[in-house]
Amino acid sequence: MSNLHLLVKQKALELGFHLVGIADVDRPIEDPPSHPTDPQEQRDRPPHSEASTHLLSWLAAGHHADMGWMEHPKRQDIKQLMPSVQSVICVALNYYTPADRPAGKEYAKISRYGWGRDYHRILHKKLKALALWLEAQTLAETEPIEARYYADTGAVQDKVWAERAGLGWIAKNSNVITREYGSWVFLGEVLTNAKLTPDRPHTAHCGTCTRCLEACPTQAISPAFVVNANRCIAYHTIENRAEEIPPAIALTYKAGWQAAIFVKTFAPGTNALPKKPTSQNFSPIPKTLPQP
């Protein structure tokens, strides 16, 4: 079915995803994707040809803190997750909501992605529907189509694959920035043994900008494209299971900062692009965004 890639994209959009792209697993990860034209960005940005090497260096430096699952070897080779995989269908779901936080100091600052329903449930439901639909398709003279889906649930380098599928580029703050929605997106993947026509990998557009590095209150991004979880407030308030937050981080947190909020907000790719409200699934609920 030569047009299956088009049908996949149509189905993904019908299911409510806002962006969809396809990456070819057999295209070496050393191949394209980002070709920065700015000399400084070319020097600062880890070459995409070294995506796995960059991950291993990040792990060796201990920048993953206590997140041991980041060391899983399957994260370096997607075929260890699914040996028959030929294509990765990458999707993005916009979660931006135009609501504002209460201004009072008595209100905690909660990242916008946590204001509404659990995004895992929303994405998994849509991804499961897409995977089941794909498996039901017929390709002449081939084996049955297989599909597996992930959204923060497997050892998948989701940002790397999103960039390769053309959804956006990995910025200096390590977030994926899309042209349509900035970085206000959740990412998901469907791995399949179907050989689908791939999209053109996205190019990088951070240029010489360093606003996200300068905005991070704990200097957790150093150098560009490298986030040290040991210094990251988001890590310590979400993933760190220790009884106490390190004193230096706690002081910054008590001052009312949330690194993930400010690093994302100050990224020009996020602010310069239109902020399009998404579905009601991610609208604030009272316990996450109380009104004064």
Residue that is written with structure tokens 């692009």 in the block: 273
Q: What stretches of 32-187 show up as alpha helix (H) in DSSP? A: 39-44, 51-60, 119-135, 158-164
Asked if 124 and 149 count as a contact pair (C-beta separation under 8 A), the reply is: yes
Asked if 259 and 213 count as a contact pair (C-beta separation under 8 A), the reply is: no
How many Cα neighbours within 13 Å face the side chain of 3?
4
Q: Which residues pair with 189 in a beta bridge?
A: 90, 150
Q: Quick one: which H or E segment has residue 21?
A: strand 19-24
Q: Which residues, other chains included, contact 115 with Cβ-Cβ below 8 Å and sequence gap of 6+?
A: 97, 99, 282, 283, 284, 285, 288, 289
78, burial (CB in 10 Å: exposed 0-12, middle 13-18, buried 19+): buried
Q: Which of 26, 77, 118, 152 is catalytic?
A: 152
209 is written with which tokens? 């900008």
Asked if 78 and 88 count as a contact pair (C-beta separation under 8 A), the reply is: yes
77: annotated active-site residue? no
Amino acid at 275: K
Let me know the angle formed at the C-alpha of 34 by 169 and 270, rounded to the nearest 5 degrees.
20
Catalytic residue numbers read: 152
